[in-house]
Structure 1
Amino acid sequence: MTDAWLIKNAELVNENKRWKADVRIRDGKIATIAQGLVKERDEEVIDASGLLLLPGMIDDQVHFREPGLTQKADIAHESAACAAGGITSFMEMPNTKPPALDRESLENKYTIAAGSSVVNYAFYMGASNDNLEAIRSLDPKAAPGVKVFMGASTGNMLVDNPETLDGIFRDTPVPIITHCEDTPMIDANLAKAHEKYGEDIPAWEHPHIRSREACIKSTRLAISLAKKHNTRLHVLHISTADELALFEPGPIEGKRITAETCVHFLHFGGKADYDEKGFLIKCNPAIKDEADRDAITKALAEGRLDVLATDHAPHLLEEKAQKYDKAPSGLPLVQFALQAALERVTEGKLTLERVVETVCHNPAKLFSVEHRGFLREGYSADLVLVDPNKKHTVTREEVLSKCGWSPFEGTTFSSSIAATFVNGKRVWDGKTVDKSNRGERLTFDR
């Protein structure tokens, strides 16, 4: 596999600028960005006329299910789906089996990824009611952050002890990322839904059970703790218009509290989508209304929300086909996430420059990722070529995630992913993934 490339005639999108240039890739790095570059030695040339060249997407929130839940997904399959979708680096959640609640379980996941991940990788340490000492002793370079479930979760991953929660926010050596929903409120709403519907709770009741009020209450608590201790806090998957006022607009530099939303919150919304997709779009926090979708998109555009990610969380179709209580929450999203984001550009709701900022630059800045997330000479050659004029209709047959389905099936996107490069290697050529490639462990400048 060559790593000597010359990409000619591309339109580069980087740091709020767009311009035509050539890019030379050598030894896994971006060697030169200039106009009129001439082929050297053993370089393979790509004529990228009419194509956009972006930094590779850094997805700061995925669930790849390994170890322990590999019937649903694994790092090999999901990282291949990342490559096909233009995601060159991922940060994976700790709620596997066993959960990553200590250094040993965390490093085990890095070992698995080193042998199987097509793209670059990092893993969060999780928080529980009884691992505060492990968090205090965490090497800041070992993980992008500590994940705190401040709402409903599975296993030992829900932190509901107020003293422990305060200690985590006080003593963490890395950014805290939070899932914010209030469990008692959700439980009360679920009981009311059972009274009304019995076991046959319809999909469109999900945003009423996992309500906006449950999100707001928990998000307020996280922000209050962060302000109390001056903690670097990143609130995940904002799903309601109501939470937006809790965050400040503007550039990410200098913010101590930031927020992320996800591609499905920009794409789906309202009862009609629940009627069509059913539990396929059941996720936590829940997809809310059309008005929430529009407000979230606007907040992302104006910089009130800082990062756009996936919360990729695969489940098997037979699991999704069960009734409400048993149908698990989560969607497989990485393979088509960038295309879904670019649809908002086509609609005029986001600029291309802002999409690149929220999926590439800001995750790199937020987590202090070294030498990635930008088109800069000397940086790792994690790149994506996008054909903005080649439409693509999603089919089940092309899904690379192990679960074998996508909520975007039947959707026609205006753009296609023409090629993906990871550390200078072309891992996606528009048709197939080079599964022999191995990504690198992300490093953090801390």
Structure 2
Amino acid sequence: MDRQEVPTRVGLVCPDIRGKSTHHDIDARLAEFEGLAGAIRLDVIFSEIVKVREIRPATYLGAGHVETLAARVKADEIDLLLIDAALSPIQQRNLERETGTKVLDRTALILEIFGERAATREGVLQVELAHLNYQKGRLVRSWTHLERQRGSGGMGFMGGPGETQIESDRRQIGDRIALLEDRLEKVKKTRAQQRRRRTRAQIPVVALVGYTNAGKSSLFNRLTGAGVFAENLLFATLDTTVRKIELPHGREVMLSDTVGFVADLPHDLVAAFRATLEEVIDADIILHVRDIANPDHAAQAQDVLNVLDELGVSAETTSIIEVWNKIDLLDETDLALAAVPAGKVIASVPVSAHTRQGLDALLLEIEKALGEQSRTYNVHVPHAAGSDIGWLHSHAEVIAREEPTEQGSDFVVRIDPRHRTEFLERFNGRISAADL
């Protein structure tokens, strides 16, 4: 997208709320917020931490802070104020009125970044759905905001202020949301069909997850030879990419790169990207990629686990391998201090996607994990249960089949965890553990 010759002049405000428990260091939080602004190349004129004793229902910030901001907006000719918080529609409107400039909160900024990054048709649909769900809550008594939007390429269907118009806007947004959800449901069904084909082909799925800018796409490129866009930018990758790779002893897996997570990732975005994130939900193994050289890596790891939990994924449901990336930026002492797993993991592997250090060890860990997940069984199938043979070929790896007898056929099969419960129920009384 072409940028204006004169970039938007922006002021950043990172509220430090007294008594609010957060696992992120406030300086790291400000640095990340600056990174978010830089992701869409805004001209940051000032960036500061503001101590907040209590959140004001009307303006979020105290009257003194708002007055100071208004003066600074005027003096520095600020076009946009970005507040690192989740503002209510009323707080946003009041801040715009008091400061005399446009105001966006953290959620809106992330939505703007996603809107610029989305490259595929699916990505565009997902971002638009999230944006509309967010905007829907901003339609109540927010005339000033809508009037300002209208002159700068906002939602084209928004008319003039008035109760009748606001109801019309809400209805049209609702209709558009329903249409997008229908289209994304079709995307979800297509992805489900693709996953079923991979399941029938007995190809396990290994999904990369991690905080944005942890190096997932660089690692993906190193392991697959793909050319996925990888740059030192927050949310450089939005669209899921899947490639087949071969493990050291010949077994093939599908490696999936996904959108990066971030602190306070908007719920609407998680919901909108759920079709994409199904790759994570159904993965056999998750590689949690961590930027171990980032001073805030422990808090970032917790944010990733929080999003996985929102998706219904945990170490209890899926094997997780931590990948400690960017070890080339640390000496041995710093690495030893930094390298502590976040939650329950089956292995932790130090790597550098930049230098390729540790990649062979990572592939061996993936292979080992898959081997431990799968179990091998002897199965007897009577002649009358022909459909069971079809089930075995569709859902198991058939290692051997004995010559049929009058009683039926005997198989040696390997079962992945995702099918084990159904297998045990279906073949109850006709199986025994194989000694291979």
Q: Indicate the structure with greater helix content.
A: 2
TM over 0.5: no
Q: Which has the larger radius of gyration?
A: 2
Task: Give the TM-score band, short-chain normalised.
Answer: under 0.3
TM-score by length of 2: 0.27
Which of 1 and 2 has higher RCO (CA within 8 Å, sep 6+)? 1
